[in-house]
Structure 1
Amino acid sequence: MRATAVRRTALAASAAALTLLATACSGSSDTDGKAGKNDRAGAAGSSSAPKAPAEALSADELEKAALAQGDVKGTKITKAGAADEVPADGVTVDKKECLPVAHAMYGVAQEGSAASAKRKVIDEPKADGKKKSLEELAEGGAEDAFKDAFDLTSTFVALHSYEGTAGADAFGALKKAAADCAGGFTATVAGTPTEVVSVAEEKVTGGDESAAWTVTSEDDGEKAPFKLVALRKGNTVATFFAFNLAAAGGDVTFEVPAEVVAAQDKKLA
């Protein structure tokens, strides 16, 4: 792909990225999950995993269990701030059964949540010390340099603790919604619609149970892949929503953020 094409595709994909990542969370208070009602009655018993213990982690306990700088090599980890927040009732979908997926994409807790903690994990630029000459840039190096500059993964991590069996139920509801909405749906956040054209299952391990998907959005004919991961450890459900801008150009392989998932799994142990 020519540099101009990569640039055009990346810029088109960034519109979806800004909507889905820059504002990717709901409030982080102890009660924010209670606003995320989504009619999960049909899916409440869909998880085959053992029911989680009744006691939920407190907000302080979740903060201690959340990722911190240094937990994932080569990344910058920060707390989600007020500028990242989107109210739960600001997330709507055109297909009711897809709401658990949309909520997970934006870090919104499901019904029964007792507390939340949220982080942003961003890859640090790779410093290999190699600088290209003008001749190399003229011979295609500029395109490679452009792709390398965007080949960074941003992951939004949301931890939610649940009361009773609500954690296992929330995980089961998300898995069911992802299967039911494999053909896509439209999510609207703060009045801005994002068209999801497919939700495809991926492989991931960790926790008492875990699942992952590639969520592909489309904007003005340009597609952009995202990675969505859910991991349940006891009565806590962690969701990870990741985007790599260079992957929107089609020349970069974008994987599930396995190192981030593993690090969070370890801290929840």
Structure 2
Amino acid sequence: MKRSSGARLCATAAIGALSLSLLTACSDDGSKDAADSKTSASSSAASSSAPATKAHTKAELEKLLLAQGELKGYKVDSGDDTLPASKSVVKTDKPACDPLAWATAALAPGDTDANAGNTVAEDKTAAGATAKPTDLADAFDIDMTFVGLSSYAGDGAEKAMKAVSDGVKTCAGGYGLKADGENTKVTRVAADKGSGKGDETVAFVEDVDMDGQGKATFHAEVVRKGNTVATFYTVNFAGFEKGGDMGAVPAAVIDAQVAKLK
């Protein structure tokens, strides 16, 4: 049954509220079929040389983030208004699940203070689109990816990847999340097919209860290159209208960001 415009507005508002609880913010700037039970394991734990012993600084990580103009068809924003400032505002009811929550909020999934993040969103106007959206769902049909970079000394990056991989298994039955005073229930976590980029990747999907209006499936990927870890988490606000899948992480974003890492 096709929903009325009012129902679409409610669904969009629900998605906005979800983003607030997951990422402490909601943005208007941000199709695949719903992720069904066919999600597959994708920890491509490729062997790699020993990571560098010295971590990048926050300032150095900010320079390694994708910048405006470096990826055609996408807009890059600092994320200052859409990303949580620190891990202290993103908590779960199961410590083992904290790395997953942090990874979906562009925060360091491991033990480090060297962290930087931004947002990378589709720029359909740059692609030459001139037609106006026909309805609310079309207006919000934009992939927005929250990108985080973190750097570690010694084997810290590898430990961070293990924490994420372990979290996917331990938190399979879900967990409770509190961000900036908002509570959200993640009902399922499962391994997903990753890009295989960098030295090691872990990808996962999360089903989230949409406050009694159904579920939404979100995709995340974590990539290690040397002693730097990149996290990617994508939201497409029109996804709730299209079966509940909120969009896979665009391969172009992963490729371009990992290529910049040293």
Deviation of the 1:201 alpha carbon: 2.0
Rate the CA distance shift 1:18–1:191 in 2: closer, same or farther, 3 A. Answer: closer
- Pair 19,233 (structure 1): closer, same or farther in 2 beyond 3 Å: same
TM-score, reference length from structure 1: 0.78
Deviation string 1:4-43 (CA, Å, 9 cap, x unpaired) is 343332222221023323549xxxxxxxxxxxxxxxxxxx
- Give the superposition deviation at 1:150: 0.9
1:231 alignment partner, one of 223, 245, 253: 223
- The CA deviation at 1:261 is 0.9
Structure 2 unaligned spans of 5+:
27-44
Deviations 1:210-240 (CA, angstroms, capped at 9, x unpaired): 1212222112213222221100000000111
Q: Shift of the alpha carbon at 1:159?
A: 0.3
Larger radius of gyration: 1
Distance 1:158 1:234, change over 3 A: same
Give the CA RMSD over aligned residues.
Answer: 2.4
- Find the counterpart in structure 1 of residue 253 from structure 2: 260
Amino acid at match of 2:234: A
Q: What is the distance in 2 between the residues matched to 1:73 and 1:86?
A: 28
Q: Is the 8 A contact 1:23 1:86 kept in 2?
A: no
Residue 39 of structure 1 aligns with which residue? none
Tell me which moved more, 161-170 or 63-72. 63-72
Residues 139-191 of structure 1, C-alpha deviation per residue, up to 9 Å, x if partnerless?
Answer: xxx5xx32211101111111001011000110111111012112211111122
Long gaps (5+) in structure 1? 25-46, 133-141
* More helix per residue: 1
CA deviation map 1:103-157 (0-9, x unaligned): 212223245425222111122245533369xxxxxxxxx5xx3221110111111
> 1:112, 1:163 within 8 Å by CA — same for their partners in 2?
no
Moved more, 48-57 or 89-98: 48-57
Aligned residue identity for 2:129: D
Q: 1:103 to 1:131 in 2, by over 3 A?
A: closer
| TM-score under structure 2 length normalisation | 0.80
Q: Which residue of 2 aligns with 1:11?
A: 13
1:69–1:22 distance in 2 versus 1, CA, 3 Å: farther
Within-5 A mapping of 1:134-173? 142=134, 145-173=135-163
Matched, 1:199 2:189: yes
Report the 3-state secondary structure (helix = DSSP H, G, I; strand = E; otherwise coil) of the residue aligned with 1:156: strand
Partner residue, 1:187: 177
**What is the SS of the residue equivalent to 1:122?**
strand
| Contact map agreement 2:19 2:25 (CA 8 A) in 1 | no
Checking the alignment, whether the CA contact within 8 Å between 2:83 and 2:105 is kept in structure 1 is: no
Percent identity of paired positions between Structure 1 and Structure 2: 35
Partner SS state of residue 107, structure 1: coil
- Which residue in 2 is equivalent to 1:241? 233
